[in-house]
Amino acid sequence: MWHRNIPLTLLSLLLSMNICAHTLRIVPFADEYWWGGVVALGSRMPYLHPLNEIDLSRDGYNNQLVPLLLSSKGRYVWSDRPFRFTVGEQRELILTSDTEPLSVTVGGKTLRDAYLHACHQHFPPSGALPDTLFFSMPQYNTWIELMYNQNQADILKYARGIADNNFPKGVLMIDDNWQKYYGNFDFKPERFADPKGMVDELHAMGFKIMLWVCPFVSPDSPEYRELNSKGYLLRDRQGGAAVIQWWNGQSACYDLTNPDAAAYLTARLKELQQTYGIDGFKFDAGDPNFYDSPNLISFRKDATSVDHSEAWAKIGLAFPFNEYRACWRMGGQALVQRLGDKNNDWKAVQSLIPDMLAAGLLGYAYTCPDMIGGGQYASFVHADPARMDQELIVRSAQVHALMPMMQFSVAPWRVLDSKHLAILRNMARLHEQMGGYIIKLARLAAKTGEPIVRHLEYAFPGQGFTNCVDQFMLGDRYLVTPMLKSGTSRTIILPTGIWRDERGKTYRGGRTYSIDVPINRLPYFERLEKRVSTK
């Protein structure tokens, strides 16, 4: 080894200065563009403009991270460990790794070639997928309506509102603060008089039920003391249980790099299922920045921040009803991913498609585009329908309708008038009607790794769609062109071929069109000339 004769103090200094780091500089070809690394940077992709350093060990921006960069010319970079990268003035990429050399692999000639080559080499599809209900029926999350006041009466009221307003039944997620405290899996008795009866009633109404859970454990609780005695918690350098700062305060945390701790937690969740009839879990708080500290000591001695995110994600593989918002690698696995919480504004609506395209290109086919209208509860507290931007909520729902999944949280009947509420109901019904096709695409993804939501450059290379972020392909059959800003008209570009819109009008591709998009219209186009089987 090169460092055998270097004094220890000097070696430590060199490591701290990244003298030992491996650097790769990629100068793009004249017509080559790059995607990847961070799902939440979808709106910056392809990387056309300078980008400050992104550290894949911690800079998740509330979403998923994958150590993969992809080129429109069939090239890609993969690393098993996190690296850092920047984008320079001339679109050059500078990648740095502290652990291993980085190199460019040629997977073919197109973006699709690069993705599929990387996929099958590094994150091959598992053949399994989450429960198909995710793809055919809407999801409903109680967060915005109840926030930290999760309680039996209001959860049932929310569910009855879904039924009373004739929205399709689907997955109902009960969000944070249903439990006594973190690390405990009993319902708060003062808020849930009969949790098993509540779940039974919700099942009878036609819902599947998921509960919010996290890997954190409240200090000085019976669970904390038991887990600490078993050695199932992350440690600090003094040998005690580490205390981690996260958005809900300071907590101890499961050390899921310990197989016994992971098995113990999985068993507790399965017991919770048996006790109350729960169908699955929303696994939150897996963000690697929580574990990015030199003071944390793990069971697995070489574990880093992203290894804890990955270990948390692997817990979900035991539950067909699951959801993650932050993740590391795990592409091709039967895990539902969700985009991070969006604001209630037009910029957020415009970010949905590029972020979903990024998720697909990073191996996360089973992704939900956040919550309709945005996931920030402050936008909806004491909302007055007369002051709400109802057009924005409708256009957000239209983006969701032909995505792999759609999720409601704010109760539409609380914030919309009857006209706009009817449009949202129709979008939920459209998603239900297209469910069979979306399920076929999900099953295809489980076999081949092909994304469900596809970039037009991926589907139609060399036709000028590199920078197109306001249209997407749903599989190989439907081109979806929603409205992403206030108004009733937009410009679309159709790839070569013959296309028929949802109203029955036929168009010749390879051309640009201006179309009318009234508030009740979601324009989409079926490809008539060629269809690739999704069987």
pLDDT score of 15 more than 90: no
| CA 92-93-94 angle, 5° bins | 120
Buried b (16+ CB within 10 A) or exposed e, 208-222: bbbbbbbbbbbbebe
The residue whose two tokens read 């005695």 is 229
Percent of the chain with pLDDT over 90: 92
- Give the domains, in start order, of the chain with CATH numbers: 8-122 (no CATH), 133-214+259-286+313-438 (3.20.20.80), 452-527 (2.60.40.1180)
Phi, psi for 470 (deg, rounded to 5): -120, 15
What pLDDT does 487 receive? 98
Residue 533 confidence (pLDDT): 42
Query: What's the confidence (pLDDT) of residue 20?
Result: 64
The length of the chain is: 535
Q: What DSSP letter does each residue of 310-354 carry, written as one string?
A: HHHHHHGGG-SEEEESS-BS-TTSS--EEPPPPPSSHHHHHHHHH
Q: What per-residue confidence (pLDDT) applies to 13?
A: 40
**Is the pLDDT confidence value at 363 over 80?**
yes
Tokens of 374: 């945005």
pLDDT computed for residue 10 by the predictor: 39
Task: Take residue 532 and report the two structure tokens written for it.
Answer: 């690739």
3-state class (DSSP) for residue 428: helix
Report whether pLDDT(481) > 80.
yes
State residue 387's pLDDT score: 82
Q: What integer is the mean pLDDT of 359-386?
A: 89
**pLDDT tens digits for 131-147?**
999 999 999 999 999 99
Is residue 12 scored above 90 in pLDDT?
no
pLDDT band at 530 (very low <50, low <70, confident <90, very high): low
198-255: pLDDT as tens digits? 999 999 999 999 999 999 999 999 999 999 999 999 999 999 999 999 999 999 999 9
Q: Residue 195: pLDDT band by 50, 70, 90 thresholds?
A: very high
Rounded distance, CA 293 to CA 289, Å? 8
Residue 519: pLDDT over 80? yes
Radius of gyration of the chain (CA): 24
Worst-scoring range by mean pLDDT, 23-32, 40-49, 387-396, 522-531?
A: 522-531
Which residues are paired to 287 by β-bridges?
Answer: none
Alpha-carbon distance of 193 to 202, in angstroms, equals 15
SS3 content of the chain, % helix, strand, coil (to 5): 30, 20, 45
DSSP at 232: -
pLDDT in the model for residue 378: 82
pLDDT-based confidence at 381, cuts 50/70/90? confident
Q: What pLDDT does 38 receive?
A: 98
Asked if the model's pLDDT at residue 58 lies above 80, the reply is yes
Kindly report, residue by residue over 96-121, the tens digit of the pLDDT.
999 999 999 999 999 999 999 999 99
Copy the structure tokens of residue 487: 């108004």
- Mean pLDDT computed over every residue of the chain: 94
Percent of the chain residues topping a pLDDT of 70: 95
Q: b vs e for 419-449, b when ≥16 Cβ sit within 10 Å of the residue's Cβ?
A: ebbbbbbbbbebbbebbebbbbbbbbbbebb
Is it the case that residue 65 has pLDDT exceeding 90? yes
Q: Tell me the mean pLDDT in the region 337-357.
A: 97
Q: Mean pLDDT, to the nearest integer, of 273-277?
A: 98
CA angle at residue 522 from 469 to 458, to 5 degrees?
30
Are 172 and 210 in contact by the 8 Å Cβ rule? The answer is yes
| Residue 379 pLDDT | 82
Task: Give the predicted TM-score (pTM) of the model.
Answer: 0.94
Cα–Cα distance for residue pair 157/232, rounded to 1 Å: 39
pLDDT band of 16, cuts 50, 70, 90: very low
